Structure 1
Amino acid sequence: MRVLQLIDSLDAGGAERVAVNIANVLASKIETSFLCTTRKEGLLKNSLSSNVEYLFLNKKGIIDLKAIKKLNTFVKQKKIQIIHAHSSSFFLATIIKLLNRNISIIWHDHYGNSEFLKNRKFGFLKFCSKYFSHVFSVNKTLEAWSKEKLEIKNVSYLPNFAVINKTSVATTLKGESGKRIICLANLRPQKDHITLLEAFNEVLKNYSDWTLHCVGKNFNDDYFEAIRTKTEELNLIDSVFIYGSKPDIFNILKQCDIGVLSSKSEGLPIALLEYGLAKLPVIATKVGECETVITNNYDGVLVNATKREDLSKALSSLVENKELRETYAKRYEKNIQENYSDKIQLQTILVIYRNFIK
């Protein structure tokens, strides 16, 4: 079996991590595992296994004939059988399918605003979906949406999985050891860092020595400016630290004591799974598949999205109770290892692949 993961970039986002993780775990399970990034490289390139064959297209526009020819040649020479296209790379995959009828396309829907699907434009996607053999969706809402809107029968929910990344980089976090809260999320509006900042500000009134650490890509846009402004307004300069993208996620998480996600919308966030692998107690909002992953008040805490007071109370409950943190962390790690490991999801992926080998 010869399978290509197709992704637009290797920035440290959720879809990109999934593409790299799948390519890496497949490398020892199939004949050859490939990964192609179309538009740009990024931090995750260093996470790619040396056993994965890699191609960078440096695609310049929607239709880049040079990039199309380069990928088409690669697919033919390497005798690739399946293109596993992630997010918006479905268009390029469709073009390659039209040039190679024996190729099967598996499309992986990572749409991050699944709470706001009524705003999703999908006319062009629906046209291309006629050439998809199967669709993986990162949550059940997206699974239902593909069946209804794209009218595709072969659709399944595929939970994300996380792996421990290994890198020589070693970021050192600021703040006091034993009193750090981590939010691992790119700086996008749906991640709702603003509510998190407001909630954390309430926590500081009683626990002033705790710190909040935000790790994720900074797009230097209006949303980042809003985060910076809110941090200044609340006088959090000495308590909130923003690091941007980092390659050494596991090293960073091991320096922290609570993992939090304050999102308005999610699929199944890989950060939530990585918190478990790092043995952190977790707090998340009731969006996407977070409620499926976390059992509220058993192995973590779930709160309503955009509710500052609820999030503040949840944070305070874990900050003030180390024993509770340890109990939740132990249970949550067991949950992630048993239900969201690469081994379990790989079995599902391989079954689907085998159905569409031509």
Structure 2
Amino acid sequence: MADFSFQNKTVVILIKDAILGGAERQALGFAKYVKENFNCSVSIVVTYSNEQSVEFQNFLNEIGLDKVYYFGPPSLSIKEEFSIKNLKKAIRALKYLVKITLGIRKLNPDILIPFMNGPSKIASLIYNFTGAKTTFWHQLGLEVCFYDWLEKIAVKKAPAIIANAENGLEVFKEYYKVPKDKIHVLPQFLAIERKSLDKENLKKQLSIPSNSLVIGMIAHYREEKYQELLIEAFSEIKIDTKIHLVFLGNKDNNENTFNKYHQLIELTKKLNIEDKVTLLSGINVHDVLNVLDIGVLVSEIEGTPNVVMEYMLYGLPVIASNHKGCCALLGDSSFLISNDKNILAQKIEELATDEDLRKKEGEKNLKMISQNSAENYFKELQIILNN
């Protein structure tokens, strides 16, 4: 494929679920940008679920997109063995791939843009049967590889492997032995624009004390996100400054997120800090970003985390786990830490008690994030696709 440009193309974006996590915000931000700047026709294909969250629908409305197609949960893990069970899985996988291929063919795509490993696997297997000229494997953050027969075929068929952080490429380099010229690191761009809202009014709406310094973590209520660690560190902080802790996620994604949300509430009660902690779900991310004074992200693993970029966009000081993607965003920041409760508490105290330091860190972060522009991203992406 030579001289690929997004101009006037038909783009089909594949996502796993119709929720509004980091990957989905990226996907919808991608859709918005190519619509507005390249005059693209864009459709969204949801590969796993058949339902959408209210937040997802609101974001769709915001960008003026209503072409969403659902294909239900696939069964796409086929082992390299002969058994009746495996044969049945292969038949189910083939039926799903035929169904989604025929569905996407009707959209007349020029390119398939997947977000995360599951949709990437599907896109790489079917793109040349849909009429699309190309696609790529798009690895983001904490991802699951099954190392099954279909995945091996899909990785081999993928025209390129693009990860948003260096650590996302390890499995492709070490296990799948993908040639170096097919492998690329391309951190995503900021998928949102900053909105300045009335901070004090928002605090009142969210039942946050008006005179408190607000520390926040915006992340899924999932096992790999360490809200518990932040709650425990927060409970040990003894300073004169009045502080409040806020979490935002979607508790209704599934049973696990619902359970974790309630476990976190119980932990705040156990530590006797429930009046100093607010757990939110289904709230607009801009509302929370506008009330924060310090942004935190502590987790097991990350690619290039959307939320750290969003903290930086809002000029916030950021405390984050020292994953490679966080380091790439925050540079030599002294607030990149190991997942240690005492260190986390110390860093929160350091920022909470020093307004000048918060301002200095926030201004530095705002300046640094300007390099993650959509213009830079699409320039690099088109170079990769043309190569």
For this structure pair, what is the TM-score category when the shorter chain's length is used for normalisation?
0.7 to 0.9
**1:55-134 to 2 correspondences below 5 Å:** 55-62=68-75, 63=92, 71-87=100-116, 88-97=118-127, 99-100=129-130, 103-112=133-142, 120-123=145-148, 124-134=150-160
Query: 1:3 maps to which residue?
Result: 11
| 2:155 is the counterpart of 1:152 | no
2 CA distance for matches of 1:201 and 1:296?
28
Q: Deviations over 1:182-210 (max 9, x none)?
A: 1001111221111111111112x324731
| Cα displacement string for residues 217-260 of structure 1 (whole angstroms, at most 9, x for unaligned residues) | 224435444423321210121011111243x2123211111101
Aligned residue in 1 for 2:224? 190
- SS at structure 1 position matched to 2:159: strand
For 2:245, the aligned partner's letter is: L
Whether the aligned pair in 2 keeps the contact of 1:6 and 1:86 (CA below 8 Å) is yes
State the distance in 2 between where 1:291 and 1:19 align.
23
Q: Residues 186 and 82 of structure 1: is their aligned pair in 2 closer, same or farther, counting only changes over 3 Å?
A: same
Quick check: 2:122–2:154 contact (8 Å CA) kept in 1?
no
SS in 2 for 1:254: helix
Q: 1:100 to 1:78 in 2, by over 3 A?
A: closer
Using a 3 Å threshold, how does the CA distance of structure 1 residues 17 and 315 change in structure 2: closer, same or farther?
same
Give the Å deviation of 1:76.
3.0
1:183-222 residue pairs with structure 2 within 5 A? 183-203=217-237, 205-207=238-240, 209-218=242-251, 219-221=254-256, 222=259
Provide the identity percentage: 22
User: Match of 2:312, as an amino acid?
Assistant: G
- 8 Å Cα contact 1:57-1:67 kept in structure 2: no
Q: How many residues align?
A: 343
1:271 alignment partner, SS class: helix
Contact 2:123 2:135 in 1 (8 A): yes
Q: TM-score, normalised by structure 1?
A: 0.86
Instruction: State the distance in 2 between where 1:57 and 1:67 align.
Output: 12
Structure 1 position 164, deviation (Å): 2.0
- Residue 33 of structure 1 pairs with residue 42 of structure 2: yes
| Structure 2: segments with no counterpart, 5+ residues | 1-8, 76-91
Cα separation, 2, equivalents of 1:84 and 1:151:
23
Q: Deviations over 1:84-143 (max 9, x none)?
A: 122212343245336336542212112416xxxxx8532242222122111211210112
SS in 1 for 2:311: helix
Contact kept, 8 Å, 2:124 with 2:136, in 1: the verdict is: no
Taking the aligned partners of 2:46 and 2:364, their CA distance within structure 1 comes to: 37
RMSD: 2.8
Residue matched to 1:236: 273
Distance 1:196 1:47 in 2: 29
Distance 2:95 2:57 in 1: 22
Q: Cα–Cα, structure 1 residues 280 and 316, in superposed 2: closer, same or farther, change >3 Å?
A: same
Of residues 317, 322, 329 in structure 2, which corresponds to 1:281? 317
- Note if 1:321 corresponds to 2:354: yes
Alignment CA distance shift 1:318-1:208 (3 Å): closer
How far does residue 6 in structure 1 lie from its aligned partner after superposition?
A: 0.3
Residue pair 1:164, 1:250 contacting (<8 A) in 2 also: no
Q: Is the 8 A contact 1:139 1:159 kept in 2?
A: yes
State whether structure 2 residue 32 is matched by structure 1 residue 24. Answer: yes
Partner AA of 2:305 in structure 1: P
Matching residue of 2:79: none
SS of equivalent residue, structure 2 residue 175: helix
Cα distance 1:134–1:21, how it changes in 2: closer, same or farther (>3 A)? same
Give the distance between the partners of 2:229 and 2:250, measured in 1 at CA. Answer: 18
Q: 2:367 aligns with which of 292, 311, 334?
A: 334
What corresponds to 1:116 in structure 2? Answer: none
Aligned mates of 2:131, 2:106 — CA distance in 1:
15
For 2:346, the aligned partner's letter is: K
CA positional deviation for 1:72: 3.5
1:64-91 deviations in Å (ceiling 9; x for gaps)? 8897566434533432121112221234
Letter of the structure 2 residue corresponding to residue 340 of structure 1: N
Query: What's the TM-score once normalised by structure 2's chain length?
Result: 0.80
In 1, Cα distance between equivalents of 2:123 and 2:196: 31
* 1:167-196 deviations in Å (ceiling 9; x for gaps): 99x963332345111100111122111111
After the TM superposition, which parts of structure 1 deviate over 4 Å for at least 4 consecutive aligned residues? 49-53, 63-71, 165-168
Query: How far is the alpha carbon of 1:155 from its aligned partner?
Result: 1.6
C-alpha separation in 1, matches of 2:222 and 2:10: 35
- Relative to structure 1, the CA distance from residue 111 to residue 277 in structure 2 (aligned partners, 3 Å threshold; closer, same or farther) is closer
